[in-house]
């Protein structure tokens, strides 16, 4: 019962951000570049959450930020998930030297600081939404591949794989029918946790100016811009921070719920 | 033509260490042969080598002709045509031999689909397969953890029989079960093998069980055969010291029962 509650709570939190992002596609209170609101207007009145130091409506910025956070989060999970699962499957099936070689590459990738990797990607391309997704996804793929590799190795050692093989099932079928379904629950939980981490990573990159450039109002950049005026107008720093927490906590709760839902042995005991 | 002809089979580890050596036997339709020996004597490796499914890093040498196909050194595609159809395997531990995340019905349907069955015909075949191993139809909708050990082993038997194999390899099929369930599963297996005229390669460490199901026995010790012949002769007059030890310990257990309840 507790599991179901946390899952629902997570869905509500994530759903909230999803709705905000969806609404931002069709309606915004102001134009994101509209600076007519006056500098650092307090919350209330025409501007529900006030304005930033350039006079832009904060609510508008936050709504656009939700869109960016979700785009980067989902995008980098797609990139990192595809690369990671593919690499992990290959390493999981590989024996000896190929497995050792891939493991060494993954070790280096995991040990490489995400921020440094992001700086390299940004230097090679440019600071953009795509660069952020690529950098975060690449950093994520190492961890995902590592996990996939060990999950595959564990499943391959099981009797039911040998049993399927003795009945003449080909390797591609074994992967599709037995390996992927059996590693999927754990992967799904990890990928959802990675989504939360990716959102945080995007905020960090943007805070450092390595994320999508202005006028894209990423939450991380809103935090950075509000830093200088946090004592006089705290809303500008608190609001994006709260939204970040809501999204990341929501994603983590959903990830927890997935673990219970995906495993039939847990499903019954609940 | 012999269904299964194993001659001079050896299994080696990558470092050259010999795990199984010089195993030879032949099996024809309707015949029942047992491989007996303690754990680590190479019984299961022999079975896996017959199917061409040795664990990575192990290699088989010699000759294994299964339904006329040379199983040693053949490419996977050739082997997959033989696996399941010419020979099928039942494993020792039914809980791990079934996919924990797949409903029982779908697992049985897997090998049935190889016979080209689809849709309603496939569902009917799954029902018939369950019926044949005396399982109620509702088991099809259960996950492996939701049914008992004996039921799981029946499911494994149904899966093995799904492709109508000519040879059934049973690798300690009753070892993980309660004694009462053991007897039921053995009786079921016995009936099915006789009914279909299959050849049976029965692998066990339990002489009493082997005496019940097998006509001939090959006794393995440390990967090598030490004695072979008709079950009756081996149990009656064991020639090798190891076989005698096996027979004596089996008798000692039985004697203990007689002493307690004469």
Q: Sheet harboring B69-70: ordered strands across? A: B18-27, B4-13, B58-66, B69-70
Structure tokens belonging to residue B100: 């924990």
Answer whether A169 touches B (CB < 8 Å). Answer: yes
Angstroms from A191 CA to nearest CA on chain B: 20
Q: pLDDT, tens digit, for every residue of A175-190?
A: 999 999 999 989 999 9
Q: pLDDT, tens digit, for every residue of A51-64?
A: 877 778 889 899 99
Partners of A169 on chain B (C-beta within 8 Å) are 80, 84, 110-111
Tell me which residue in A163, A169, A178 faces B91 most closely, judged by beta carbons. A163
Task: Of A12, A49, A24, A28, give the one whose Cα is nearest residue A239.
Answer: A49
Do the chains contact at A165 and B83, CB–CB below 8 Å? yes
Partners of A177 on chain B (C-beta within 8 Å) are 99, 102, 110
Q: What is the 3-state secondary structure (H, E, C) of B6-49?
A: EEEEEEEECCCCEEEEEEEEEECCCCEEEEECCCCCCHHHHHHH
Q: What is the pLDDT of residue A265?
A: 67
Partners of A158 on chain B (C-beta within 8 Å) are 96
pLDDT confidence bin for A233, thresholds 50/70/90:
confident
Q: Is residue A143 part of a domain?
A: yes
CB-based contacts of A186: which residues, under 8 Å, 6+ apart?
A147, A151, A259
Contact, B213 vs B173, CB < 8 A? no
Mean pLDDT lowest for which of A31-45, A61-75, B134-148, B237-251?
A: A31-45
Do the chains contact at A170 and B80, CB–CB below 8 Å? yes
Q: Work out the mean pLDDT of chain B and round it to a whole number.
A: 91
Q: What is the pLDDT of residue A268?
A: 52
- Most distant CA pair in chain A, distance: 75
Angstroms from A102 CA to nearest CA on chain B: 18
Q: Domain tally for chain A?
A: 1
Partners of B100 on chain A (C-beta within 8 Å) are 160, 182, 264-265
Answer whether A163 touches B (CB < 8 Å). Answer: yes
% pLDDT > 70, chain B: 99
* DSSP string over A100-150: HHHHHHHHHHHHS-HHHHHHHHHHHS-SSHHHHHHHHHHHHHHHHHHHHHH
Interfacial residues of B (vs A; Cβ cutoff 8 Å): 48, 51, 53, 56-57, 76-77, 79-85, 87-89, 91, 93, 96-102, 110-111, 114, 143, 145-146, 156, 159-160, 162-163
Partners of B57 on chain A (C-beta within 8 Å) are 95
Instruction: Look at residue A191 and tell me whether its pLDDT is greater than 90.
Output: yes
Angstroms from B156 CA to nearest CA on chain A: 9
Q: Work out the mean pLDDT of chain A and round it to a whole number.
A: 88
Q: Where are the domains of chain B?
A: 4-77+89-260
d(CA A238, CA A220): 12
pLDDT confidence bin for A122, thresholds 50/70/90:
confident
Answer whether A172 touches B (CB < 8 Å). Answer: no
Instruction: Look at residue A38 and tell me whether its pLDDT is greater than 80.
Output: no
Answer whether A268 touches B (CB < 8 Å). Answer: yes
Angstroms from B103 CA to nearest CA on chain A: 10
Instruction: Look at residue B167 and tell me whether its pLDDT is greater than 90.
Output: yes
Tell me which residue in B53, B97, B162 faces A160 most closely, judged by beta carbons. B97
Q: pLDDT, tens digit, for every residue of B82-119?
A: 998 899 999 988 888 999 989 999 999 988 988 888 88
% pLDDT > 90, chain A: 50
Q: Is residue A230 part of a domain?
A: yes
In DSSP terms, B225 is beta-bridged to B220
Mean pLDDT in residue range A109-118: 86
Q: pLDDT, tens digit, for every residue of B131-165?
A: 999 999 999 999 999 999 999 999 999 999 988 89
pLDDT confidence bin for A266, thresholds 50/70/90:
low
Q: What is the pLDDT of residue A87?
A: 94
Q: How many residues does chain B have?
A: 262
Q: What is the pLDDT of residue A15?
A: 95
Task: Of A25, A12, A13, give the one whose Cα is nearest residue A71.
Answer: A25
Angle at A164 between CA B111 and CA B124, to 5 degrees: 20
Do the chains contact at B88 and A95, CB–CB below 8 Å? no
Question: Containing domain of residue A172, as a range?
Answer: 2-19+61-269
Task: Of A152, A85, A99, give the one whose Cα is nearest residue B57.
Answer: A99
Do the chains contact at A159 and B100, CB–CB below 8 Å? no
In angstroms, the Cα distances linking B225 to A88, B19, B22, B219 are 42, 12, 7, 6
Comparing alpha-carbon positions, the chain A residue that sits nearest to B96 is A159
User: A–B: how many Cβ contacts below 8 A?
Assistant: 85
Which of A152, A157, A163 is most worth mutating to test chain B (most B CB atoms within 10 A of its CB)? A163
- Sole residue written with tokens 């832009």: A56
- Sole residue written with tokens 């004592």: A231
**Residues A33, A35, A37, A39: what is their CA dihedral angle, to the nearest 10 degrees?**
120
Strands B32-36 and B216-221: parallel
Fold exhibited by the domain B4-77+89-260: Rossmann fold (3.40.50)
d(CA B172, CA B169): 9
Instruction: Look at residue B57 and tell me whether its pLDDT is greater than 90.
Output: no
Comparing alpha-carbon positions, the chain A residue that sits nearest to B51 is A166
Comparing alpha-carbon positions, the chain A residue that sits nearest to B78 is A168
Q: pLDDT, tens digit, for every residue of B28-37?
A: 999 999 999 8
Which of B55, B99, B108, B171 is most worth mutating to test chain A (most A CB atoms within 10 A of its CB)? B99
What CATH number has the domain bearing residue A171?
Answer: 1.10.3720.10
d(CA B19, CA B7): 16
d(CA B83, CA B60): 17
Which of A168, A185, A262, A267 is most worth mutating to test chain B (most B CB atoms within 10 A of its CB)? A168
Q: How many residues does chain A have?
A: 270
pLDDT confidence bin for A269, thresholds 50/70/90:
very low
**Interface predicted TM-score of the whole assembly (ipTM), two decimals:** 0.85
Partners of A185 on chain B (C-beta within 8 Å) are 101
């Amino acid at each position: 019962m507790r599991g179901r509650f946390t899952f629902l709570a997570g869905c509500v939190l994530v759903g909230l951000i999803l709705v905000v992002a969806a609404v931002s596609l069709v309606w915004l209170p102001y134009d994101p570049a509209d600076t007519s609101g006056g500098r650092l207007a307090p919350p209330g009145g025409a501007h529900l959450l006030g304005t930033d130091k350039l006079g832009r409506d904060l609510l508008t910025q936050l709504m656009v930020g939700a869109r960016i956070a979700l785009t980067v989060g989902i995008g980098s999970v797609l990139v990192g998930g595809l690369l990671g699962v593919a690499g992990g499957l290959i390493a999981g099936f590989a024996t000896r030297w190929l497995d050792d070689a891939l493991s060494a590459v993954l070790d280096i990738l995991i040990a490489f600081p995400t921020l440094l990797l992001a700086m390299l990607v940004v230097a090679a391309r440019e600071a953009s939404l795509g660069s952020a997704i690529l950098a975060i996804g690449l950093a994520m793929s190492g961890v995902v591949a590592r996990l996939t590799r060990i999950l595959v190795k564990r499943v391959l050692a099981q009797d039911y794989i040998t049993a399927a093989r003795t009945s003449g099932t080909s390797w591609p079928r074994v992967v599709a029918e037995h390996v992927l379904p059996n590693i999927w629950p754990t992967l799904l939980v990890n990928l959802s946790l990675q989504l939360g981490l990716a959102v945080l990573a995007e905020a960090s990159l943007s805070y450092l100016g390595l994320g999508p450039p202005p006028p894209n109002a990423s939450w991380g950049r809103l935090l950075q811009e509000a830093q200088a005026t946090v004592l006089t107008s705290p809303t500008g720093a608190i609001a994006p921070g709260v939204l970040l927490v809501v999204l990341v906590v929501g994603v983590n709760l959903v990830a927890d719920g997935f673990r219970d839902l995906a495993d039939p042995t847990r499903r019954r005991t609940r | 033509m012999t269904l299964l002809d194993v001659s001079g089979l050896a299994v080696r580890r990558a470092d050259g260490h010999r795990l199984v050596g010089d195993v030879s036997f032949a099996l024809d339709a309707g015949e029942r042969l047992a491989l007996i020996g303690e754990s680590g004597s190479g019984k299961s490796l022999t079975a896996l080598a017959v199917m061409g499914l040795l664990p990575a890093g192990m290699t088989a040498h010699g000759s294994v002709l299964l339904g006329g196909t040379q199983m040693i050194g053949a490419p996977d595609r050739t082997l997959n045509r033989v696996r399941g159809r010419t020979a099928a395997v039942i494993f020792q531990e039914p809980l791990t031999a079934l996919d924990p995340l797949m409903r029982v019905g779908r697992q049985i349907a897997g090998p049935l689909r190889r016979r080209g069955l689809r849709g309603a015909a496939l569902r009917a075949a799954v029902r018939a397969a369950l019926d044949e191993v005396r399982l109620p139809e509702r088991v099809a909708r259960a996950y492996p953890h939701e049914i008992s050990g004996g039921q799981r082993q029946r499911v494994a038997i149904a899966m093995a029989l799904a492709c109508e194999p000519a040879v059934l390899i049973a690798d300690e099929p009753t070892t993980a079960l309660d004694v009462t369930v053991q007897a039921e599963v053995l009786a079921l297996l016995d009936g099915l093998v006789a009914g279909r005229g299959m050849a049976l390669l029965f692998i066990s460490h339990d002489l009493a069980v082997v005496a019940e199901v097998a006509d001939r026995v090959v006794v393995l010790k440390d990967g090598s055969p030490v004695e072979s012949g008709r079950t009756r002769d081996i149990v009656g007059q064991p020639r090798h010291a190891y076989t005698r030890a096996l027979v004596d310990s089996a008798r000692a257990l039985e004697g203990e029962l007689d002493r307690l309840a004469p």
